[in-house]
Structure 1
Amino acid sequence: MSIRKLKWFDIANGLLLALVSAVTAYPLLFVLSASISDPAAVLSGRMWIWPVDISFTGFEKVFANSDLLTGYSNTLLYTIVGTAINVIMTVMAAYPLSQPRFYGKNVIMALIAFTMFFSGGLIPTYMIVRDLGMTNTMWALIVPNAVSVYNILIMRTYFQASIPGEILEAASIDGSSDLRTLLRIVLPLSLPILAVMVLFYAVGHWNAYFSALIYLTDRELYPLQLFMREILIQGQMEEMVNAADRSHVQTIMDEEAVKYAIIIVANLPIFLLYPFLQRYFVKGVMIGALKG
């Protein structure tokens, strides 16, 4: 291919990627701008991209709602504790399965992989959680999903492809135990895949609501997503905007402001987490997905 054709290809590719980026970024920018714009401008269509008549009414009502603050703190707790348990258990499962000298690893891996395709279902799972006394506790949201088979496969492949066996052999000759080798050698060399696991698990915990809907009855334990569900789906937004004391038009505008503000508040921690993990993300996924 000539240099001229390569140049035109690069230009066309750049334009295509710019278009895809714009299509992807527009909804995010619209929601952010709508959350700090006058609701009347949003409803009338005067706001397209940039904020119009900046107003923080939605955020004021969101942060004044005690239920949302409770849900926010609960979700932070569930995400931090759950992600820590997830990553630890994934590492403890993937590392032995990646070692050639681990006898019976193929059988164990087959049994683990079997659960990806066949499971007991919702009712048996609920009965187990209930009989273990975990209903209406935070552990009902963490323990049943303590490890992902898919993530075990990714991490095991990463260990096999990226950790030289010679290093592990040298550590063994020097008298290092398996646990010490894992903590001192393997994990420091595995920051990309660990970052991927943290992001996968954290996003899963942050967005989860179905388990809480099934296992929790105490509102003090509700995560943020359940309160958002009540507000956005079950029509409880009027309680936040004091609909009885306002005109119908003003109530609609306040509900619009609250809707966009909730979306921003709910997703802000994940948006802040991703830039710190981005440099590890692509490398971790690619090496963890392919052995070579």
Structure 2
Amino acid sequence: MAALFDVLPASVGTTTLGGDGVCALADKKSLAREALDRLTVRLGFGHSEERLVDDAKAYWVDGTAETSWRGFSHFRDAEVFRTTDWTSVGQEHWELFQRLGRLRGGDEQYSRIVEWGCGGGANALAFAPHCDEFVGVDINQETLDECGRQLAAVPGTHFTPVLADMSNPEAAAEHVGQADVFLCLYVLELVPSPEYGLRIMQIAHDLLKDGGIAFVQTKYQTTDWRTAPRRHRYRGTRAASMTSYPIDTFWTQMTDLGFQPEACFLVPHNALDERYAYYLLSKR
């Protein structure tokens, strides 16, 4: 079955056509991909976790030349931010963090904030002024360098970059240290699988001090099969739809990991995408 994931989309029509023939061929390929996606979702088939991680690494570490990479990594000069204010991404997240934090009596200043998947620094720029040290974790040195350049504009902020290996994220956690706040925003939908996302959340729980806060975001799954995790064909063009969680499932899983869920905030649609669920979690 795994071979079908690689062969089917490319095998639907190999003849060079012109005019309407090109459109017809594209339609056939699109229908074939949709049929394969529907089949794998219904039957629970997919690539192995190891294969998914390898494919994800090929994109995030080695695929920087792909047109979608800078946008997904939230670089300030990415195409998507020509029409969307780059600074608004982090600012809106900070404001939501404050809003949800008031439900539990949140602080205004923190010692250490860790962002897992800091990308080009959109969130870092908004959160760093509110901590003594901002730790950015990412799997690509280029994004860590970009995040550092953005934070250079924040006086008095100490930035600590940590390079992670996607195959072994737990190893990077050993170089992070304890945190008051753990951020993971616009990341969990990009990870290879829901199980991989839970590994990140276990790391979050391990890194947080007692009473510390995790502010994380997922894409939420609905009754539409198209919103389910893909588990195959990790590609840049579909990276933002690879992983999702039903809201109640993720809430329960966080409780099982030892978190106390404090709040959930849904954003059905915004300028970047759709189906965002934000969770504020306390370490018990």
Question: Normalising by the residue count of structure 2, what TM-score does the alignment of the two structures yield?
Answer: 0.20
The structure with more strand, counted as a fraction of residues? 2
